[in-house]
Amino acid sequence: MNGEPLTIGIDFGGTSVKLAVVFQSHIIDHAPPIATQEFDGHDELISEIVRSVEDLRARHPNIAAVGVGMPGFVDFEKGLVINLTNVRGWAEVPLKKILEEKIGLPVWVDNDANCMAIAEWKCGAGRGFRHVLFVSLGTGVGGGVIANGQMIRGACYGAGEFGQSSIDYQGLPGNYGNLGALEKYVGNREITASAHAAYAAVGILKSLDDCSPAALAAAAHQGDLIASDQWNEIGRKLATAVMNGCWLLNPEAIVIGGGVARAGALLLEPFKKYLFAQLSGNFKDQLRIMPAAFGHEAGVIGAAALARDFLVEGK
């Protein structure tokens, strides 16, 4: 493959495990998804993943490495899954070691948000930049930090948690007692609840489904001012958390992904307006704001890119 190897990316989610064969940023094959919750412990699920990898290798004998993104804390150096947020039976699992023994290929294991950040940085919207902040907006709000041309994972692999950072020192408590946690303002459920309350306040009773981020985007596109105002507020709050990342890290690119970011300009325009109004001149001139290039596939593409990079560059 002329130095650019084929790798398998595995995106381990709370609902399903997705596996794909990736060349550069292109998915060239994939395996049927594995339903995560059908497996009680990690042993059987790992065996099922190994079977799936073997099927893909039977079709693509030149696969050179495997990358895995996990939804929780991962000791990246050891490839050890410390624990997962929403999946039982995954405490202290040496996943890299187990998979390498069973598959016979080099394996790298990282946090799933880091994998999404790597996808955008290596192959997507953040390609070519040395300082990138990636924010993923969904039910959870996460992200990844690239500085000096390196992924920043931190002392215990917990870096990039934009959703836990505070936008108000007296605000709503997050999952760790962290007052003003961004996730409690712009997470999927919180957007829905806020919109529901805003409609109710003017006597409009909507179902929660009609207040989802997708419904709210559709309404705003049709001229609904309450919906537009909600997106303005989401952009404003997101801008504060990202601005804090800018003052600390002075990035050149900000990439916004995740399901909520599908609102596009409805979110990005107010976000940009509030962000640029709160940065110094030279910061702004060198700063690009971009929507993520990848959607659902960011996880597998990033996991595959992680493996490819370590294989090719040894880092």
Residues within the interface to its own copies (CB under 8 A): 73, 82, 130-131, 145, 147-148, 150, 152-162, 164-170, 176-180, 236-237, 240-241, 243-245, 247-252, 277-280, 282-283, 285-287
Nearer to its own copies, 191 or 287 (CB): 287
Nearer to its own copies, 220 or 243 (CB): 243
> How far apart, in whole angstroms, are the C-alpha atoms of residue 301 and residue 112?
11
Minimum distance between the CB of residue 99 and its own copies, rounded to whole angstroms?
Answer: 23
> What is the rounded radius of gyration, in angstroms, for the C-alpha atoms of the chain?
20
Minimum distance between the CB of residue 160 and its own copies, rounded to whole angstroms?
Answer: 7
Task: State both tokens at 115.
Answer: 């994998």
* Chain position carrying tokens 């650019």: 4
Minimum distance between the CB of residue 172 and its own copies, rounded to whole angstroms?
Answer: 12
Minimum distance between the CB of residue 87 and its own copies, rounded to whole angstroms?
Answer: 18
Specify whether the CB–CB gap between 196 and 205 falls below 8 A. Answer: no
Task: State both tokens at 116.
Answer: 């999404």
Task: State both tokens at 294.
Answer: 């990848």
Cβ contacts of 16 within 8 Å, gap of 6 or more: 33, 34, 35, 36
Nearest Cα to 218, choosing from 274, 262, 271, 273? 262
> How far apart, in whole angstroms, are the C-alpha atoms of residue 88 and residue 18?
18
Minimum distance between the CB of residue 44 and its own copies, rounded to whole angstroms?
Answer: 27
Nearer to its own copies, 39 or 134 (CB): 134
